[in-house]
Structure 1
Amino acid sequence: MLRLLCALLPLLRLGHGAELYSLELTNNGPITTGAQATVQARLRTKNENDTSNLYHFNWIYAPLILIEKSEQQLNSVINVTGEFPGTFPVSVWVTHKNCWLCRSVVRNITVLQITEFITGNLTIAQIEDSRVTTHGSGSSMDTVTRISFSLYDPSQYFKSASFVYNWDFGDGVYQITKEPFVCCNCSSMGNRTVHLKVVAEWEQTGSIIHEREIMQKTGDFTTALELLDAVKSINIVGSRETHVMENLNLSLHINGTPPLALCWLIKSECIPLEGDKCHLVEISGSCYNLSHTFRDAGQYCLSVRVENGVTVLQTYHGIKVRPAGIHPAFFVLLCTALVSVMLVLVLYMTFRSNTPQKDLVEVFSYSYFELG
């Protein structure tokens, strides 16, 4: 009976394992050959009544070489190394410590990438006014651009190595440095590909004849560099005064390389625009027409932010909104009409005043001659 119970117990645990347990498995690859990788397993249980925390982690990592293993309650960590490049699966399954005949409650697998080359990445940053701004692949012309190499070495495998960096900027310019970065001031627009070859050398004792030998590893890296013209100015053309319920048209002229991300907002005061809390539009040219109608009178400010992936520029435009009333053009027209009417009236009165005098002279002259 006891043997039958032990035989059935693994089946029961296996059927509910997927519901009661989850296993997270991660590694810090890719790594270079000879370096150490860390693989970590985290067990999570959904059974609130399980307070034993007595589990055992069973690893399969061959043909990798185990350097160290640690286990603590719901976590287990192993450090492994590999002498050959490739993609290696590492798996683990978890069992109860107090039931060595039981099947696993949960299992998982991860893939560790090992390469014979140096691992790392290239980053591009732009230096303006002693400030460093990191970008993706874009940089502005006539501005110092710094390209940096970041070594990925979690196990400090290259801690005693010396490095040489061979830079190729894609325009016929080459440079060799001992620092993992280089600065350039490019003056021509366009796209280019920057190539970097990293060479690492160090000494170590041989495993067979125990003599000092020179070890060397290399790595090749590339990154795309897009040279753009920075956003240099934003010119807002249009009136600074308008009336309530009157359509105000403004024209924004931008000096910068498109495509441009334009963000505008009209508030009672000028505010710096951050994030996407504004009207965001994408424009492919250098001009944008803005139309807005105000419902209330007062003093307003148009805040405008423009960026093109390299630089960000912001400007402001004050607007005074007057209450609805007679438009100045209509007022001028009305005054002109009034003056014209008065002028016609004066001429008419002058003409009328001269006409009776003429008739009186003619009548007097006619009567005089008849009496004579």
Structure 2
Amino acid sequence: LISTEEYGLEITNNGPITTGAQATVHASLSMKNGSVTSNLYHFNWIYAPLILMQKSEQQLNSVINVTSEFPGTFPVSVWVTHRNCWLCRPIARNATMLHITEFITGNLTIAQIEDSRLITHGSSSSTGAVTRISFSLHDPSHYFMSASFIYKWDFGDGLYQITKEPFVYYNCSTMGNRTVHLKVIAEWEQTGSIMHERETVQKTGDFTTALELLDAVKSINVVGSRETHVMENLSLSLHINGTPPLAICWLIKAECVPLEGDKCHLVEISGSCYNLSQTFQDAGHYCLSVRVENGVTMLQTYHEIKVWPIGIHPAFFVLLCITLVSVTLGLVLYTTFRSNTQQKDLVEVADFDFSPLSDKSLSSHPELSCGQICCRSCFLQSSEEAARETHELLHSFYKPVKTYTI
């Protein structure tokens, strides 16, 4: 690359290509200081022994299409001068290498089907999942537009398959590494260059890719307490069911959030267990969000955490509730028992008349005979017996009523 302090020149190509196809080489001139100029420039190309098929040029860009009937790696260079000064020193120069092969060009890709979607994980896939292996033909000039293709697949485990489509579905439940081989055969007819007769042309290509089958991340088990206190160290352990190596992303916030990107604590482990610890400065509710992936699958889980203030334990609130319930129940029972007792109590009142009138009433009847007095005595005796019977029905803690005989 030769350039001045004011100009830069970039050159690219879309190779590799197969023999007979056309490659595109693009050159772009830029101003390093970002200024825009109205000057005209001329692009000078060197591409031999390639055959030039087409050339186009604009103010700061130039494109050429070249081809070759022979395989190899060919240099293509370009330098730029002012259009009105061809003999002046070039203001920029650059070069690129174009690779031409006699075989079909393309590449294999591996994708795993998850929820009716194709997810690409490089060369890795999970066991038990359906994996799609597909071939992408690299033909920028549409050289194989009229060709028919046959694909012969070898999955490296004794299974073979022949298709007319450039993809195949593969499912394996055994962990391990595989090497997938593919042979592509393309055939088409074209007019011969000498006899001008129709002839069949065939090109082939061999491709391989590594397939790594891993166990998917099936579960994440968070072992540890869900409660802690302020300024106490909370230790948690993550137990993961999946094939390592594992990439763990964890974050503790006031709410559970889906983890995306690298806005979390990122760690990589070669086992299936990881320990973490956290000290909380404030009381409240928190959530531990965890994301685990192993190159083929990703799983996320959450773990809620309650942080209590210092000196307050949940058992205190339980004891307080039990005490309040006990006191309330005792008051209800006492009130009920007291009401029933008052209803059953009997109050007895004795009415005695000790006024002088009572004596006068007796003295005012001197004519009462002995029989009458005796009858009164009998009556008093019968009244006394009735009082005794009534007295026996009263509770023992009441004092007996005294009976006076007049």
TM-score range, shorter chain: 0.7 to 0.9
Q: Is 1:205 aligned to residue 202 of structure 2?
A: no
More strand by share: 1
Q: Of the candidates 73, 79, 84, which is equivalent to residue 59 of structure 2?
A: 73
* Amino acid in the other structure paired with 1:207: S
TM-score, length-normalised on structure 2? 0.74
Q: Is 1:123 aligned to residue 91 of structure 2?
A: no
Equivalent residues in 2 for 1:223-372, closer than 5 Å: 223-325=209-311
Q: Of the candidates 171, 176, 179, which is equivalent to residue 193 of structure 1?
A: 179
- Whichever of the two has the greater Rg, that structure is 2
Contact 2:180–2:208 under 8 Å retained in 1: yes
Contact 1:53–1:74 under 8 Å retained in 2: no
Tell me the CA shift for residue 161 of structure 1: 0.8
Counterpart of 1:219 in structure 2 is 205
Counterpart of 2:148 in structure 1 is 162
Tell me the CA shift for residue 23 of structure 1: 1.8
Aligned-partner Cα distance in 2 for 1:48–1:184: 52
CA pair 244-118 structure 1, distance change in 2 beyond 3 A: same
Aligned-partner Cα distance in 2 for 1:119–1:258: 35
Aligned-partner Cα distance in 2 for 1:257–1:51: 59
Tell me the CA shift for residue 104 of structure 1: 2.8
CA pair 17-229 structure 1, distance change in 2 beyond 3 A: closer
Aligned-partner Cα distance in 1 for 2:247–2:67: 48
Tell me the CA shift for residue 72 of structure 1: 1.5
Q: The residue matched to 1:277 in structure 2 has which SS?
A: coil
Tell me the CA shift for residue 52 of structure 1: 4.5
Aligned-partner Cα distance in 2 for 1:103–1:231: 62
Q: The residue matched to 1:19 in structure 2 has which SS?
A: coil
TM-score, length-normalised on structure 1? 0.81
Aligned-partner Cα distance in 2 for 1:47–1:188: 58
Tell me the CA shift for residue 47 of structure 1: 8.2
Aligned-partner Cα distance in 2 for 1:79–1:53: 26
Counterpart of 2:124 in structure 1 is 138
Q: The residue matched to 2:231 in structure 1 has which SS?
A: coil
CA pair 284-17 structure 1, distance change in 2 beyond 3 A: closer
Contact 1:204–1:212 under 8 Å retained in 2: yes
Q: The residue matched to 2:4 in structure 1 has which SS?
A: helix
Counterpart of 1:340 in structure 2 is none
CA pair 249-104 structure 1, distance change in 2 beyond 3 A: closer
Contact 1:261–1:306 under 8 Å retained in 2: yes
Q: String of CA shifts for 1:153-189, please: whole Å, max 9, x gaps.
A: 1111111111111111011111111111110111100
Aligned-partner Cα distance in 1 for 2:136–2:34: 44
Tell me the CA shift for residue 129 of structure 1: 2.3
Aligned-partner Cα distance in 2 for 1:63–1:39: 15
Contact 1:22–1:106 under 8 Å retained in 2: yes
Q: String of CA shifts for 1:53-74, please: whole Å, max 9, x gaps.
A: 3222221111101101111122
Aligned-partner Cα distance in 1 for 2:36–2:255: 60
Q: The residue matched to 2:5 in structure 1 has which SS?
A: helix
Q: The residue matched to 2:140 in structure 1 has which SS?
A: coil
Aligned-partner Cα distance in 1 for 2:251–2:182: 44
Aligned-partner Cα distance in 2 for 1:221–1:237: 47
Aligned-partner Cα distance in 1 for 2:235–2:254: 18
Deviates more, 1:19-28 or 1:161-170: 19-28
* Amino acid in the other structure paired with 2:143: Y
Deviates more, 1:40-49 or 1:274-283: 40-49
CA pair 50-132 structure 1, distance change in 2 beyond 3 A: closer
Aligned length: 317
Tell me the CA shift for residue 94 of structure 1: 2.1
CA pair 66-296 structure 1, distance change in 2 beyond 3 A: same
Q: Is 1:102 aligned to residue 88 of structure 2?
A: yes
Counterpart of 1:366 in structure 2 is none
Aligned-partner Cα distance in 1 for 2:283–2:31: 63
CA pair 330-39 structure 1, distance change in 2 beyond 3 A: same
Unaligned runs of 5+ in 2: 318-406
Q: Is 1:183 aligned to residue 183 of structure 2?
A: no
Q: String of CA shifts for 1:295-321, please: whole Å, max 9, x gaps.
A: 111011110111000100000011111
Aligned-partner Cα distance in 2 for 1:50–1:306: 50
CA pair 17-275 structure 1, distance change in 2 beyond 3 A: closer
Aligned-partner Cα distance in 2 for 1:228–1:61: 48
Aligned-partner Cα distance in 2 for 1:78–1:309: 41
Q: String of CA shifts for 1:304-340, please: whole Å, max 9, x gaps.
A: 1110001000000111111111567999xxxxxxxxx
Counterpart of 1:111 in structure 2 is 97
Aligned-partner Cα distance in 2 for 1:132–1:49: 45
